[in-house]
Chain A
């Protein structure tokens, strides 16, 4: 096996045994990127020099006996997390040349544990999209089938992990943006509980929904990354003061006493039969493993997309007001008045989907429409939260598909925003309710396209997700993905 093919846990062991150094591992990933990324387009920026100097530092630390949890492990970072002195574009022309003067808290935590940051990966512009096709700097391909979407918005993260360019990645999830690309590319992805992980340095899309999380090639690696990034942060006023458990201790707990709920609304019409087959198989595996299976209803599921798009767009319209051409980012130089400068800068800097959401949000918050749209959506959010509260009285985990279909061809749906929004129906509720969610590979379709299984848990119960996901991973024992790159 080549070094870049390993999981984080395997690579850590081999470095501990002296089989290769962090520099050799990093070079093997950089060579892999060099070889395949022209076609794959997962990376927006590759920081070869920075990565190698971090790898040299990691090797020194190791020989001095200071071995961080990610010592010498090469990772990719979604391009909306601030990286000091490394360009951070958010997939948008408006930030094409933006070089942050500081690290996001999660990036800082990765560095402190010895992680090596290879570069920044592609995403839908400002994380608004479900395919990564709204990225202004090249659209990533699905590593399993070229010409197919990676999903989104963390499409570069999922593609870089699945294609063996790096050993893990950080993405962000506002309505499914980690779980959905993880499912479509065949990797593990977790959206933690809202407040578990600091959002400081995460470019805001919808602040009450955004959460940073890991993508990896194994559940064990997911637990390791969760250990590193989870912590209260005084720089994020919504981060929650709660002790971080050692998530790796949950891996081998087994399933005795775990009550697994099957939300009936997630299996309604529109579900691809191959997706349903994979998820049903996952349910049987958990049943055989000793989990108690319970039928659950989340009656307001059909309203989640409408509630979400009003809330997320409203928050986005406010958050994206900061891109005005004054302090950083693109400025239209032709305009001669301040107002005209704002308008021209924003109109030329933002893509169509971002403008669409800013307009929906501005409308929903505008005088005369606030009660009918934003307030109504926030009340429905309360009902959705109530559904989860009731469900978690009767079960610990919810199992379902992540997306109604496997990956689709690039270009489909791109002219129909509503159809695209509706494809997020199975992941959005977790963000509205702030509960943790996870996508774990469940199998492949006849065509070889990956299908993930979604697990959702109660607030701050990521340990149960990891415990259940690990059981699925071990029992399913899937073949490595057949890559088409």
Chain B
């Protein structure tokens, strides 16, 4: 086994998801198959290989810190599931 049901449950929580017990079993099986397949990468010796995270080595793209046109508050809030005209609202935290 590459991954256990307990580990999948842990990762599910990290990813802010929930799965029913039955779905957890299915997902564990599928992730195990996928992870067994990607173990194939272990055949390659990459000890001295630098990782590529970006094809072109672009460094930070800076711009002038200048005020430009942006969305109005009304437009920014328009898609919110819950808002009070000034801010986004979420369930009570404290």
List the interface of chain A (C-beta within 8 A of B). Answer: 97-99, 101-102, 194-195, 208, 234, 237-238, 240, 300, 302-303, 305-307, 309-310, 317, 321, 324-331, 333, 335-344, 346-347, 350, 355-356, 358-360, 362-363, 366, 373, 375-383, 385, 417-418, 421, 433-434, 459
User: What distance in Å separates the Cβ of A386 from its nearest Cβ neighbour in chain B?
Assistant: 9
Contacts of A327 in B (CB 8 A): 79-80, 88
A335 to B42 Cα, complex, angstroms: 43
| Contact indicator A383/B37 (Cβ below 8 Å) | no
A208–B38 touching, CB < 8 Å: no
User: Are B18 and A344 interface neighbours, CB within 8 A?
Assistant: yes
Complex Cα gap A248–B19 (Å) = 51
The dominant DSSP class at the B interface is: loop
A382 to B46, CA, bound (A): 10
Count of residues in B whose CB is under 8 Å from the partner chain:
50
- The B5-37 residues at the A interface (CB cut-off 8 A) are 7-8, 11-12, 14-19, 27, 30-31, 33-35, 37
Are A237 and B61 in contact, CB atoms less than 8 angstroms apart?
yes
Please determine whether A335 and B91 come into contact, CB atoms closer than 8 angstroms. Answer: yes
| Cα of A321 to Cα of B17 in the assembled complex, Å | 11
B41 contacts A328, C-beta separation under 8 Å: no
- In the complex, A326 Cα to B16 Cα: how many Å? 14
Contact of B78 among A101, A338, A377, A421 (CB under 8 A): A101
Mostly, the A contact residues are helix
Chain A residues positioned under 8 Å from B76 (CB to CB): 101
| Complex CA distance for A381 and B49, rounded to whole angstroms | 10
A307 to B37, CA, bound (A): 10
Bound Cα distance from A448 to B70, whole angstroms: 51
- List which B41-75 residues lie within 8 A (CB) of chain A: 41-44, 46, 49-56, 58, 60-61, 63, 71, 75
User: Known: A326-B90, A327-B79. Is A363-B51 also a contact (CB below 8 A)?
Assistant: no
Answer whether A377 and B61 are a contact pair too, CB < 8 Å, given A327-B80, A356-B30. no
For A343, list chain B residues within 8 Å (CB).
16-18
Kindly report which residue of chain A lies nearest to residue B28, judged by CB atoms: A359
A358 engages B15 (CB within 8 Å): yes
**For B38, what are the chain A residues with a Cβ–Cβ distance below 8 Å?**
306, 309-310, 373, 377
Q: Is the CB of B81 within 8 A of A366?
A: no
List 10 contacting pairs A-B, 8 Å CB cutoff, sorted by A: A101-B75, A194-B56, A240-B56, A310-B41, A330-B81, A331-B82, A343-B16, A343-B18, A359-B17, A381-B52
